[in-house]
Chains A and B, each alone.
Chain A
Amino acid sequence: MNIIVNGETISIAPNTSLSKVIDTLNIKNQRFAVEVNGEIVTRSEHNHYQMKENDKVEIVVAVGGG
């Protein structure tokens, strides 16, 4: 099935957890935050959170800005 991560469509196996998705993205060393379909998914929930078809995931970090 497909999900959208930061605007890019990604194919994943059914019943994949959010933390599995994050594992494949090479962002382990960063401090990040995750939202699915407009709602925050806290760090402690990543393991149990099951992805569904067409979920829209946003993963953000802090960058330079005023």
Chain B
Amino acid sequence: MRTDQFVIAGKEYHSRLLVGTGKYRDFNETKTAIEESGAEIVTVAIRRTNIGQHPNEENLLDVLSPKKYTLLPNTAGCYTAEEAVRTLRLARELLDGHNLVKLEVLGDSKTLFPNMPETLIAAKTLVKEGFDVMVYCSDDPIQARQLEDIGCAAIMPLASLIGSGMGILNPWNLNIIIDQLKVPVIVDAGVGTASDAAIAMELGCSGVLMNTAIAKAQNPILMASAMKKAVQAGREAFLAGRMPKKTYQAEASSPTTGLIS
């Protein structure tokens, strides 16, 4: 499907599945699962380095080369606009001027629900500083539009709480957001299994971002493969256009004439 382009901040990607790199057993599992998922954009967190306490500790970027993947540094764990902006400035320095980032400003440690007022403030600053901002947000269509107006590169509403695996809880809000925005809408957070990813794509999302659904599956490598197919299948179903639902009358698929008597 050559015409079905997936473009974020001017760059075209082939995979509509974006994956996180947290919660895996080890770097080997991280690497294999991500390869299996076919994802091109992978999120990373920014944290203090150990200052010589564990000199031989492996580095994530040894496993996930920035040459092979588009790294998407996030602001997970930030609760204010200021912390988030500082973190992403550090990320840009870390990744040699790389501008594509994932903004998330959390409001509550129990639900990890986004703090939207702080998210909007941070988005404004980051866009002004030249970042291409993919932004985790609530599924409020008005705030989603405000984030697009600010100039964010992708709007990423939650399907349900981060790490919950509860699936798409409010498809109606997602529908409104997808309908009214021009930039890619990517479901971020809440996907639990392959059918959830397929539903997100059938709704018309441009992509799906997930971490726990793969990393905490009983077999993460196999789930990564399932998610790759689910995202592709959901996208194709969306493009194909589903048959209309008929709630009132069945319609036979086989001929109604020529029956033996």
Contact = CB atoms under 8 A, between A and B. Distances in A.
Contact of B20 (A42, A62, A65): A65
Given A66-B20, A66-B22, A8 B90 contact: no
B61 A66 contact: no
Among B23, B47, B211, the most chain A Cβ lie within 10 Å of the Cβ of B47
**Contact count band on A:** 20 to 34
B59 A31 contact: yes
Contact of A40 (B93, B162, B209): B93
Given A29-B59, A33-B91, A40-B90, A65 B22 contact: yes
B45 interface: yes
Given A38-B86, A62-B45, A62-B71, A26 B93 contact: no
Nearest to A24: B52
B152 to A, nearest CB: 19
A62 B27 CA distance: 13
A15 interface: no
A66 B91 contact: no
Contacts of A58: 48, 90
Interface residues of B, number: 38
Interface string B167-181: 000000000000000
A63 B46 CA distance: 6
Contacts of B71: 62
A30 B182 CA distance: 39
Given A33-B91, A58-B90, A64 B44 contact: yes
B44 to A, nearest CB: 4
B24 interface: yes
A64 B59 contact: no
Interface of B: 20-24, 30, 43-49, 51-52, 55, 59-61, 71, 73-74, 76, 86-87, 89-91, 93-95, 162-163, 189, 209-212
Top 5 A-B residue pairs of the complex, sorted by shortest distance between their CB atoms: A65-B45, A66-B20, A66-B211, A26-B52, A33-B94
Given A31-B94, A61-B60, A64-B22, 10 more contacts: A25-B52, A40-B93, A60-B87, A62-B60, A64-B20, A64-B24, A64-B45, A65-B74, A66-B74, A66-B211
12 contacts: A30-B49, A31-B59, A32-B49, A59-B51, A60-B94, A62-B59, A62-B73, A62-B94, A63-B47, A66-B21, A66-B209, A66-B211
Interface of A: 5-8, 24-27, 29-35, 38, 40, 42-43, 58-66
